[in-house]
Amino acid sequence: MIGIVDYNMGNLASVINAFEIIGANIALERDPAKLKNYDKLILPGVGAFGDAMEHLHENGMDEAVNAYAQSGKPLLGICLGMQLLFESSEEFGNHKGLGLIEGHVVAFDEKRFDQKLKVPHMGWNELFTQRETPLFDGLDKDFYLYFVHSYHAVCEDKYAIGKTYYGYEFVSAVQKENIYGIQPHPEKSHENGLKIIENFVKL
């Protein structure tokens, strides 16, 4: 059984639908004490980093997600959920994250862009795989996914399994042992996204 952490941050219907399309057993979970009962865990999220951490902290869900990560079972952060895996974010101030992966979340630096682009980064863009990972099994070395975000992760290359170019290169997918994160929305990315979801289910 796969659990989706439900902490009042974003519409989860499309995430649930994507997992149901591939026939996965999935359930929303609001009780931190029950996270440990799941074989795999999804940390989704849409919205602001600080609000998300506040919601997670309100009932101890942050500690429960950390404990789950330490158990060695697969954990996948999607979009804002990926950003929450890091130590901190500069979105609307400085906010502490879950600290599961060393690194920080920063705003797109438009001064670095090699051309005039709009922020947020929204729409289809290419993910360039950086190393082999079971999350991308069966996909081309580089493939398109759907993005919507104004902030991105900065971390050591040893954690980067995917990078994307938008004005400059940034980290768009990460892995640290059993902990995975992906900045784009696989649940909105058609066949490529469903393949990533299927690969996670198979871990």
Active site residue ranges: 79, 185, 187
Alpha carbon distance 149, 194 (integer Å): 20
| Contact yes or no for 136/199 (Cβ under 8 A) | yes
Task: Give me 168's structure tokens.
Answer: 């400059």
Task: Give me 164's structure tokens.
Answer: 């994307």
**What is the phi-psi region of residue 23: left when phi exceeds 0, alpha when psi lies from -120 to 50, beta otherwise?**
left
How far is the first Cα of the chain from the last one, in angstroms, to the nearest whole number? 12
